[in-house]
Structure 1
Amino acid sequence: MSRDGKHEIVFDDLLEQATSDDTDAGWGEREAPVRDLDWYLRETPPHHGE
């Protein structure tokens, strides 16, 4: 709204404005944890052997 209380027409490109749905967090996903070689070795299923 403008100062006089009337609505203004805005010609901005709405697609340039990011929303929370544009991110993984907006979809409920969390940032992936950092996984190193030790993590993968610990998580190896027993049937894969050593």
Structure 2
Amino acid sequence: MSTSAAPDPRPEPAAPPKPAPTPKPKLVFDDPLDQQSSDDTDRGWGERPPAGGSAADLARFLDEKPPHHI
């Protein structure tokens, strides 16, 4: 009779598959001044949307008029 251990009949679990490497971003050599930036727009600068010429616009104009335009 042998005193050595019997081999394990269960197979070892397979290693999880490695994820595919993500490609590196490509370098873009376009002129950045050809593209419009967010600073080139009025959005986000506290501008009010155009109202369409109401009495509120006239009141705002008169309220914000500098003193030398009275």
Same fold (TM > 0.5): no
Q: TM-score, normalised by structure 2?
A: 0.36
Q: TM-score, normalised by structure 1?
A: 0.43
Structure showing the higher helix proportion among its residues: 1
Per chain length, whose mean CA-contact separation is higher, i.e. which structure has more relative contact order (CA < 8 Å, sep 6+)?
1
Which of the pair has more CA radius of gyration? 2
